Amino acid sequence: MVRILKSDLSSNPRIEAVLPDAALPGGEIEIRGTNLGATGYERPLSAIGGSTAAVLLSRSTRLLVRVPESSSMSPKLEVFRNGTRSNQVEVHVARLLAENIHAVASPAVNANGEVFVTFSGPRGQQTPVSVFKINPDGEMRVLLSGLVNATGLALDAYGYLYVSSRHEGTVHRVSPEGAAAIYAEGMGVATGVAFDGDQNLYVGDRSGTIFKIARDRQTFVFATLEPSVAAYHMAFGPDGGLFVTGPTTSSYDSVHRIDPDGSTSVYFRGLGRPQGIAVDIAGNLYVAASLRGRRGIVRVSPDQKAELVLAGSGIIGLAFAPGGNAILTTSTAVYHVDLRVEGFQFS
């Protein structure tokens, strides 16, 4: 998101825009303004929340800086140059919520703000924990054990969690207390899972099939896509369209859309290794991907305009939480960030 600030005519550095204004610790953000460059041999300095933010590129009207690891969630950004300092601008920095996970898809978040993440492990390897449950205050406990290679996560309208196994080709239904039972079998290399408004469950098979499991558990081949090298990630939009990403070996991948009748189309092309996805109430799509060489969360609007709204590398998945917040997962950690976005969910 870009926030434009009024400039002045002094020689002090002046921040006029921050692109994007949200980041993971270690993410790279761009500062635009005036009087930002070096004076003589003295480079400008930047700080976020009082911690030094390394300046990676310096121009008179543009700086590229790295968000320090120690930043708080909504610290102030400022630039120092030749003994003067700039105005302060708020930057939304993701806060570490939990570590020691192994996510290969997006987290799931319920109406209470509780977060579900996997400890997936290498293919075929049994791990001590399959799924963790994390309270909003960061308390982490074991929800499920014994499922090999827990992969995709989705919640139904009743608060039950559905977990796919890419090793077993199954989907398990897990109660809020952690009791689990097999819900579906024969799903191939089962990856992403998602529910539509009628509570039909959709499961992505990495070989290219998207299955639809009706409420009576009848299973159909819903659509077929190009095989993915990693996993399918899926999310429904307000109009009932199913968005699907599946990273390939290409650096110019697509987001696909599947209509309710199963017809497929390319929704947006030009992302690098798109993975986890989520949709807001306005129908904007958010994708963990690279856009024009910069990694983070990319927002794609219904009119096909794309912009980076959060900077950060290594993001696997995302989900929206109550209050305009987002939950992000890397392969090993979970983060919480205020993106001021209300996520879409079927009522």
Query: Is residue 160 predicted with pLDDT exceeding 50?
Result: yes
Q: What is the CATH number of domain 96-338?
A: 2.120.10.30
For the purposes of burial, counting CB atoms within 10 Å of the CB of 122, is it exposed (0-12), middle (13-18) or buried (19 or more)? exposed
CA atoms within 13 A on the CB side of 291: 21
Please check whether the domain covering 14-93 is classified as CATH 2.60.40.10.
yes
Q: Tokens representing 277? A: 């996805």
Query: Is residue 5 predicted with pLDDT exceeding 90?
Result: no
- Residues 217-229 have pLDDT tens digits of 999 999 999 888 7
- Residues 112-159 have pLDDT tens digits of 999 999 999 999 999 999 999 999 989 999 999 999 999 999 999 999
The pTM score is 0.93
Contact 335, 96 (CB under 8 A): yes
Mean local confidence (pLDDT), 237-258: 91
Mean local confidence (pLDDT), 2-31: 80
- HEC per residue, 158-211: CCCEEEEECCCCEEEEECCCCCEEEEECCCCCEEEEEECCCCCEEEEECCCEEE
Contact 131, 143 (CB under 8 A): yes
Residue 283 has a pLDDT of 97
Mean local confidence (pLDDT), 73-78: 83
Residue 172 has a pLDDT of 98
Q: Tokens representing 77? A: 């950004």
- Which segments of the chain belong to CATH 2.120.10.30? 96-338
- As a whole number of angstroms, the distance between CA 178 and CA 222 comes to 30
Residue 251 has a pLDDT of 77
Residue 308 has a pLDDT of 98
**pLDDT tier at 6, thresholds 50, 70, 90:** very low
- As a whole number of angstroms, the distance between CA 145 and CA 127 comes to 8
- Which segments of the chain belong to CATH 2.60.40.10? 14-93
